[in-house]
Amino acid sequence: MSIGPLPPGDSPRRELGAFLRSRRERLTPGDAGLPDAPGRRTPGLRRTEVAELAGISVSWYTWLEQGRARTSEQVLRAVARVLRLDAAETAHVLSFAEENRPPADTPTWVSPNLLTLVRAMAPHPAVVLDPHWDLLAWNTGYAALLTDPARLHPKRRNLLWLVFRWPPARTLLPDWEQEARALLGQFRSRAARRPDDPRFAELVTELLSDDDAARWYERRETAAFEPSVRRFRHPAVGDLRLRYVKLAAVDEPGHHFLSYLPDDRDSEDALRRLGAEGQAPGDP
């Protein structure tokens, strides 16, 4: 089974088809309210069964899995319902609707207004990410909480690289597996819609050199962003509880502003100490 991005020239429809097939094959007839006939050899549901339950033709559903059909939100919602997709998987499938395709070009700069906001958030950590989750701008609070991205090679200034390939991450994040799987699921959903994007391909290759990332990526796990409280175990100030806030930059399509806000008074005090004198994990 291929676990990397689609080769150049393949369309996002092929990735959608592979995802639908993987979810169809994990269901049993009983899951869909159908009788389970003895001697059945097909893993999961048959294409004919999905098509009938979704109210579309067998040919059309077959073309969907083969990456040969145009996709509409109405059809994808019907298929998602039959395949019993959860909220994150449904959102992932709907992102392939033709009218929901992301813009092809994203600015590579960060506006002065957004830079001012990032700096003003200190000592609260803040950063600007592009669609590949590359770090474009950050403040002193972010550098103290994790590490100063300016010390990293430009290709490694990436949130997914920090989570999976930066050694201190698994100690810094007590809930590392839960956090890492959620982030990888969000990233996979975004990368799947840009199969010809060389930066996504480069990042996927780097991530798949990690055994955990490779295993979860092969399962086609997806996730949607949810506001949450993230725990940190920082070597300089101890435990922190920080609320993860993500905002889209309206005037810079594709860019997101992320900030970590203290969830309690102890975390607020710890961030202030970090901003004043804290040493980031992994610093010499």
Q: Please write the tens of the pLDDT for every residue from 206-223.
A: 888 999 999 988 888 777
Report the distance separating Cα 111 and Cα 129, nearest Å.
13
Residue 2 domain-assigned (yes or no): no
Amino acid found at 8: P
With 90 as the cut, is the pLDDT of residue 280 above it? no
CA distance 17 to 21: 6
Buried b (16+ CB within 10 A) or exposed e, 84-97: ebeebbbbbbebbb
Whether residue 106 has pLDDT greater than 80 = no
Q: What are 24-34's pLDDT values in tens digits?
A: 988 888 888 88
The pLDDT value given to residue 120: 94
177 and 209, same domain (yes or no): yes
Residues 96 and 145 in one domain: no
The residue written with tokens 């990042």 in the block is 203
Tell me: pLDDT of 2 over 50.
no
Q: Which domain holds residue 245?
A: 112-277
Q: What's the confidence (pLDDT) of residue 228?
A: 86
> What contacts 24+ positions apart, CB below 8 Å, involve 40-44?
none
Predicted confidence (pLDDT) per residue in 17-60, tens digit: 888 999 898 888 888 888 776 667 777 888 898 988 988 888 88
Complete DSSP assignment for 192-242: HT-TT-HHHHHHHHHHTTSHHHHHHHHTT-------EEEEEEETTTEEEEE
Task: Tell me: do 176 and 136 sit in the same domain.
Answer: yes
CA-angle at 178, arms to 148 and 161, nearest 5°: 35
One domain for residues 71 and 121? no
Mark whether 135 and 216 lie in a shared domain: yes
- Looking at the fold, whether 94 and 167 belong to one and the same domain comes out as no
Question: 190, 191, 164, 166: which is closest to 177 by C-alpha?
Answer: 164
Instruction: Tell whether the model's pLDDT for residue 105 goes beyond 70.
Output: no
Give the pLDDT confidence of 112-167 residue by residue, as tens digits.
888 899 999 999 999 999 989 999 999 999 999 998 998 888 889 999 999 999 99
| Cα 118 to Cα 19, 111, 221, distances in angstroms | 37, 11, 31
Residue 161's SS3 state is helix
The one-letter amino acid at 68? R
- Count structural domains, the chain: 2
Same-domain status, 24 and 148: no
- Tokens found for residue 31: 């899951």
CATH code at position 209: 3.30.450.180
Same domain, 171 and 208: yes
Please answer whether residues 204 and 214 qualify as being in contact, where contact means their C-beta atoms are separated by less than 8 angstroms. no
Q: Which long-range contacts (CB under 8 A, 24 or more apart) does 245-252 make?
A: 249/111, 249/114, 249/128, 251/111, 251/113, 252/106, 252/107, 252/110, 252/111, 252/114
118 and 250 co-located in one domain:
yes
